[in-house]
Every structure is written in C-alpha cells, then in structure tokens.
Amino acid sequence: MDRDEIEVKRFLEIEIKINSIIYKAQKLGIAVDLETVKKRCEELESYIYEIKNTLQVEHEIFTPDCIETQKNYLRKKAYSIVESLLYSFKIRRKSDIVCNLFYDLLSNQRDLDSLLLMLSRWGQTRTHPTYLGFGTITSRIILRQPSLQNLRKSNRDLIIPDIGTKLIYIDYGQFEAGILASLSNDKHLIKLYDSDIYSDIAEKVLNNKEDRNEAKIIFYRFIYGDTTLPKNAIDYFHRFKGLQNFKMSIENKVLLNNKVGTVNGNYRRSFDNDISWALSHVIQSTASYIYKSALIKVDQEVKTAQLLIPMHDGTVYQLKQFNFDESKNKIEAIYKDEFKKMCPQLNPIVKIKDSFE
C-alpha cells in the first residue's frame, strides 16, 4: 500500500468517524456549574493582577502580557523556545522565578478566557466547545472556545454531570513513553515501561525518584528535539541503543525524503534541514491514531457513554448510573485493546477515576 492509499484509508476509517463523534458531542454540550464559574473568574482576575504586579514592580517587566515581551525575556536569558511559549516557561519554572511567573500568568489567563466564554452564554448551564478533529499537525483533537482540555486541575470541578449520570476520567499511563519503547523495540525501555519510565528518569537524571512530573518534562523535551537538555539527561537517553537507532532512522527519512509519517499515514513534510521535530511527530501521530481508534470503538460498543472532553491521552466520559460499572469496565478494556494492537510488546497501563477533578 503506497502513501496516498494509507492516507485515504486513515481518512475513511478514522477521521470521518471521529468528526461524526465530536460534532455530536459539540451539539450535546457539557454541563457547567455557573455559580462556581462566576466565583472562579473573580479569583482568577485577582490572581492574574497580582502576578502582573510582581513582574512589573519586582522584575521591571512592564508589559508582561505582551508576546514580544515574553519572547524577549527568553532571548535575553538565551533560552530556546520549545514547542510553545507556555511550555518554554513551564520547563524552566523551577530554576527561574520569572519563568514561573510567566507560566502562572499564561496558564491562569487561558483558564480565565475559557471561563468568560462559558459566562458569555448568559443564563445557560451548558457550554458547547468547538471540537476540531484534526486540530494539530499530528492529528490531535483540539477543543477551543472554551479550551476545556487545558483547564488547570483546580478548575476542573466546574464540569458537572447531567442528572442520572456520573463522570469518569480515563487516561493512558506513560502513553508516549510506551509508544517510543514499542516502536523502537528497545528491550530495556520496554522493560522499564512495566515499572515506570518517568520514575527511572527522575531517579537517574534528577536524583529524586519522586520528582516524576519534572521527569516527564525531560522526556518530552527529548522527543521534541530540545538541544538545551542538561548533559546528564542526554547521557541517560544515549544508554538506550534501540531508541537511538530508531531516532536516527526517522531523522534520516526526513533528510532523504523531506517527509516522515507513521504506518497509518499522517505524513509531515520538511521544508528545511530541521529534523528536531521528526521523532515527536512519529510518536505523537501514533498516539493520536491509537487514541482515536479507542474513541471510535467506545462510541460503537458502549452506547450509554457520552464523550465530553478528549484530552489526547485521556478522556472525560459521562456514563449512565444504572450500568455505570459495566460501562466503565468495557471502556477500560477497549482502551487497553487499542493500545495493544499498535504496541503488542506492552502490557498497556490504563487509569480510571470516577471524577474529572
């Protein structure tokens, strides 16, 4: 099967079905607690003002919400932009107080924008985000206006179930790390997946096995092609010979063919000699395919489940109370099966919570 045939197959079997599912979800909407939304808006406005005031008074950054000001700070500190401005501040928030302030400013402003959009439909107790089935170059589903995918955990309690239903949040554990282990066929990395790749990074690179969140950031910086990783992090990934060979083969494909994709299509073209994005594209595109396959299977087989919020590696569903446990167990089995189909070397890790908070 050639590249065009693969793309057509994915379009027919995945993308058309996904768009049908998400447009149905968009029409039905999501219940929100409007009184809590109003209160949270006031709190966020006050907190954002405090952050801006701190940046202006203590750090002499007088237009902190200006994009050029944010970029200029990164340039001044010789920090590269990794993935986005928000992510660039996030990965340096522990070592740089100004980056931490910018990260808090941007993430809280994003939440405030989403909450204000909820309130703009005055008197309505539902919000109807715009779902984009092919929202990124890796085909990730995106929710905009409001951007519920990006709500900070402290604001997730705004999403409430309809009467007679309960919420669940299901997500893949070590999703991209597991995909990388499987596609690279690196036996050592596959074995680590069973224990915890991120905990191993935390122990070996950060000297703190409990610092798992920072370890995840190091992993993503690696697959994003961040050349400013500390030497001990670079040395850590060089230990995995299968991973290094896989990364090199993908980068060579870009240099040779000016494009790279997955076994299920979703090719990305290169228009210069930059290959930093190649590994990330393959991993994220594969993740998107697995995730969308799971959404489609749940829609087909669990009729009492309503999709609310797709989160790339996790999902918020609303389930009928009368067969809640049965539906939840079916969804968990489907998510594991779809991951196993693409990554047969793994024993998929899937986590379920009876809440989105």
In tens, the pLDDT along 204-226 reads 999 998 899 999 999 999 999 98
Q: Do 329 and 323 touch, CB atoms closer than 8 A?
A: no
Q: Look at residue 203 in the predicted model and tell me its pLDDT.
A: 96
Q: Is residue 343 part of a domain?
A: no
Q: Look at residue 273 in the predicted model and tell me its pLDDT.
A: 82
Q: Is residue 56 part of a domain?
A: yes
Dist CA 57 CA 53 (whole Å): 6
Q: Do 42 and 296 touch, CB atoms closer than 8 A?
A: no
Q: Look at residue 274 in the predicted model and tell me its pLDDT.
A: 87
List Cα–Cα distances, 339 to 26, 182, 237, 293, 347, in angstroms: 26, 11, 24, 9, 9
Q: In the chain, which ranges are continuous DSSP H helix?
A: 3-10, 16-28, 34-59, 67-76, 85-90, 97-120, 175-184, 187-195, 197-205, 212-223, 231-238, 241-257, 278-301, 324-342
Q: Look at residue 122 in the predicted model and tell me its pLDDT.
A: 61
Q: What percent of the chain has pLDDT over 70?
A: 99
> Chain-centre distance of CA 74, in angstroms?
23
Q: Look at residue 124 in the predicted model and tell me its pLDDT.
A: 75
Dist CA 132 CA 235 (whole Å): 39
Eight-class DSSP state of 78: T
Q: Look at residue 169 in the predicted model and tell me its pLDDT.
A: 97
User: For helices 175-184 and 324-342, what crossing angle results, to 10°?
Assistant: 30
Q: Which domain holds residue 108?
A: 38-124
From first to last of its 357 residues, the chain has per-residue pLDDT tens of: 677 888 899 999 999 999 999 999 999 999 999 999 999 999 999 999 999 999 999 999 999 999 999 999 999 999 988 889 999 999 999 899 999 999 999 999 999 999 999 988 766 789 999 999 988 999 999 998 899 999 999 999 999 999 999 999 999 999 999 999 999 999 999 999 999 999 999 999 999 988 999 999 999 999 999 888 999 999 999 999 999 999 999 999 999 999 999 999 999 999 888 899 999 999 999 999 999 999 999 999 999 999 999 998 899 999 999 999 999 999 999 999 999 999 999 999 999 999 987
Per-residue pLDDT tens over the stretch 143-158: 988 999 999 999 999 9
Q: Look at residue 60 in the predicted model and tell me its pLDDT.
A: 96
Q: Is residue 84 part of a domain?
A: yes
Q: Is residue 236 part of a domain?
A: no
Tokens 């929100």 belong to which residue?
32
Q: Is residue 103 part of a domain?
A: yes
The structural domain count of the chain equals 1
Q: Is residue 12 part of a domain?
A: no
Region of 295 please: left (phi>0), alpha (psi -120 to 50) or beta: alpha
Q: Look at residue 123 in the predicted model and tell me its pLDDT.
A: 61
Q: Look at residue 227 in the predicted model and tell me its pLDDT.
A: 86
Q: What is the pTM of this model?
A: 0.92
Q: Is residue 104 part of a domain?
A: yes
Q: Is residue 93 part of a domain?
A: yes
DSSP bridge partners of 32: 159
Q: Do 57 and 51 touch, CB atoms closer than 8 A?
A: no
